[in-house]
Amino acid sequence: MGEKVALVTGANRGIGREIVRQLAERGLQVIAVGRDPVAIKKTADELGMGVIPLVGDIRKLDQCALLATLVEKRFDHLDVLVNNAGIIGNMSATDFDLDQLNSVMNTNLFGTIQITRALWPLLVRSKAASIINISSGMGSLADQPRGNYAAYRLSKWSLNGWTMLLAGDAPAHVGVHAMCPGWVRTDMGGPGADRPVEKGAETAVWLALEPDIPTGKFWRDKTVIPW
């Protein structure tokens, strides 16, 4: 149990890749998960530092179960789970685009729940585990009247609610957190975003490493923000 183990989903690019890099630099054994086998292997090879690439689609129950089995074969516990995998949808609520809504919710909410459930036994075995859900300020209730990006907003709003529910039900040694990385220059955020990827990953890494952080909160820049 001496080795601290982390798993990051959506790890082959953007904020997920940077979280993997920063955690590995701090001495954690990091498992990088992505859907594309070529991309996730390339990420692990480029980062080095013992990063372990695993292929899996969190939207699929059988693949979540397989990921958990593969992790358990190498480690008897999991200390950090960063639920970073996510996609964006840009339709407004008046477009009623149910295909987009299903796609976004299946990844951002249900996929996150499925991979967390699969890895739960390993997290509970940790002496002090952290679950970090990458959310967005667009999921804050106060931000909803701005409109647009309805599917994405609903997925992150729901993810925040699930974070609170899981934090309330989890044992005391498992902390559950949501965080907003801000508008980050990634493939999703675009080149006009005001934050470098290093800053977007910073709070997730802090939540993973800092002891005694209050559970069930919503964070940005290491500061609690309103739900």
Q: pLDDT (tens digit, 9 = 90+) per residue, 79-93?
A: 999 999 999 999 999
Reported pTM: 0.96
Tokens of 112: 């996150």
Query: Nearest-CA neighbor of 23 among 42, 2, 4?
Result: 4
Q: pLDDT (tens digit, 9 = 90+) per residue, 157-185?
A: 999 999 999 999 999 999 999 999 987 88
- Expressed as residue numbers, the domain containing 11 is 5-224
pLDDT at 2: 59
Q: Are 47 and 23 in contact (CB under 8 A)?
A: no
Q: What CA–CA distance (Å, rounded) separates 93 from 1? A: 48
The helix/strand/coil state of 50 is coil
Q: What CA–CA distance (Å, rounded) separates 191 from 130? A: 31
Count how many domains the chain has.
1
Tokens of 207: 């939540």
Tell how strand 129-134 and strand 80-83 pair up. Answer: parallel
**Strand ranges, E, within the chain:** 5-8, 29-34, 52-55, 80-83, 129-134, 174-179, 217-220, 223-224
Q: What is the CATH number of the domain that holds 186?
A: 3.40.50.720
Q: Which residues contact 111 (CB under 8 A, 6 or more apart)?
A: 57, 58, 59, 85
Angle between helices 150-169 and 112-125 (to 10 degrees): 20
Residue 207 to residues 79, 127, 210, 224, Cα–Cα distance (Å): 12, 16, 6, 12
Round the average pLDDT of the chain to a whole number and report it: 95
Band of residue 190 on the pLDDT scale cut at 50, 70, 90: confident
pLDDT at 160: 98
Q: What CA–CA distance (Å, rounded) separates 216 from 165? A: 8
Tell how strand 80-83 and strand 52-55 pair up. Answer: unpaired
